[in-house]
Chains A and B, each alone.
Chain A
């Protein structure tokens, strides 16, 4: 299979087309601009739709319309733009519409900056908009994984009729790495017999809707969604453990931060510190199982994030007080070096 050198944003776009994405709607924002530019070039040539919307709000609502019409659809943005999309994401979840939403995170709050960050973790994993809902959140840490997870994102969205977020960051979007676009066998997916395509001979009209004026009905609907979320939690949590076999200490990091943390783990290993890395691949559902696996031998955990401490809450919820949980983070677009993290690993060992 052919290896090609591609920027993260462009590889993601190419993977989306190959995964059968028919429509893309988006609004310009740094640092994800290469993604829409690639699709603007390629979609018309390959039978797809690219449309630049007048706003993030319009873009996500175009996604709603196209998803409701039964096609694979994607939008992408970066942090401030994703905030604007939250109304639409809440409606998409309420109406159970499958779509893929890419967030190439940058520093916040507010307009922040355009440097890499992981400070939208709460927004991504706690719903983000109004109401009781969840979105599946995938967090790739290499360009190859970005590509692979795009296919999974579309499948998971269709399988569960739910939006799927791909949470990247400015580094992942901008960096070039060799990738292979692997052909994948088509997955068995439920038919979209709920889509509004026009009745086309169907007896009853299909309706895409999130309004249930009767609270009894809305509770029923929300409980149905909740049951789906429980199924997703049971089946779809993913993670990777590196250098875990003999480890007594664990660093937890996702996305690009996990790459840097792994380098720090290797440095610590060279000094004889038995440390491993837990890398969550799904941020929701959070891979609690990873912690069950290592807790019997773990003396302490160190969470490293490009934020002032967001995922660390899920780490604490997973560890449930059975071992100390430490935190190290940089914020505002600053990225820790492997040396910085190595120092934190040494501190963790000294403290516990």
Chain B
């Protein structure tokens, strides 16, 4: 019999703790498929964040470090500088990367640190139970913006790709949406490109993925995907924000 679908080698044979309809499982798989395809599993070190993906070290079958909240890019910098011939990636959520870890991500990008960042943007804090995130949309209701995010009180969402695209350091910055097969494939192609940048020594690469969080959004999984498609992409337009010029 021909095998048409199987677990990537770079994922462990285990169940995850992610909620039904959550994007993390898909994104883990895409990262693992890319590691397999590039043949880098054995020389990759991943950095897990604080947040829903904190247990990523139980799911990826590669060496992993668990970092303090927001500090993954600094931890990844330490690993990469110590072992420049290895592949180093961070896996971070929006609270981790765009709130408490803003300094670390901006400066890793500005240094052109030769690491790859997988940035999962679901516009909410998941692990702590649905608080307002730096990427929460204006008007979006969360545990800590119960009347909807009011810019007068809580300001506006941060567009990470656009912000980092002003810097000279990054080699590749792209935003994708985890909504349908076409876009999931596009997400994977961006992730692959990001790792290829690192492998060819071109410097900092980041893929932002708009990802559903049905549990904390209080939606059914399908409605959550529709919300990404209809609402999130209006504030966070998908696309490539920075890539090396050909030639």
Cα A12 to Cα B74 in complex, Å, equals 25
Quick check: A69 and B44 within 8 Å, CB to CB?
Answer: no
Chain B residue contacts of A88, Cβ below 8 A = 68, 71
Binding site of B, secondary structure by majority: helix, strand, loop or mixed?
Answer: helix
Q: Which of A53-61, A102-110, A119-127, A142-150 contacts B (4 or more CB under 8 A)?
A: A53-61
Cα A59 to Cα B75 in complex, Å, equals 9
B190-232 to A contact mask, C-beta < 8 Å, 1/0 = 0000000000000000000000000000000000000000000
Chain B residue contacts of A211, Cβ below 8 A = 54-55, 66
Give residues of chain B (134-180) contacting chain A, Cβ–Cβ below 8 Å: none
Nearest CB on B from A58, distance (A)? 4
Give residues of chain B (15-53) contacting chain A, Cβ–Cβ below 8 Å: 41-45, 47
Q: Nearest residue in A to B50 (C-beta to C-beta)? A: A211
Nearest CB on B from A184, distance (A)? 23
Give the number of residues in A that approach B within 8 Å (Cβ atoms): 40
The answer to whether the Cβ of A23 comes within 8 Å of any Cβ in the partner chain is yes
The answer to whether the Cβ of B107 comes within 8 Å of any Cβ in the partner chain is yes
Give residues of chain A (199-235) contacting chain B, Cβ–Cβ below 8 Å: 199-201, 205-211
Quick check: A208 and B78 within 8 Å, CB to CB?
Answer: no
Nearest CB on B from A203, distance (A)? 10
Quick check: B79 and A66 within 8 Å, CB to CB?
Answer: yes
Quick check: B74 and A58 within 8 Å, CB to CB?
Answer: yes
The answer to whether the Cβ of A296 comes within 8 Å of any Cβ in the partner chain is no
Nearest CB on A from B162, distance (A)? 20
Quick check: B61 and A205 within 8 Å, CB to CB?
Answer: yes
Nearest CB on A from B16, distance (A)? 14
Residue of A22, A59, A65, A205 ringed by the most chain B CB atoms within 10 A:
A65
**Top 8 nearest A-B pairs by Cβ distance?**
A65-B78, A61-B74, A196-B63, A62-B78, A54-B107, A66-B78, A65-B75, A61-B71
- Chain B residues close to A by CB (< 8 Å): 41-45, 47, 54-55, 57, 60-68, 71, 74-83, 86-87, 103-104, 106-107
9 A-B pairs within 8 Å (CB atoms) are namely A22-B82, A64-B71, A69-B79, A73-B82, A197-B63, A198-B63, A198-B86, A198-B87, A201-B42
7 extra interchain contacts, Cβ-Cβ under 8 A, other than A65-B77, A211-B54?
A58-B71, A61-B67, A64-B75, A68-B78, A70-B82, A208-B66, A209-B66
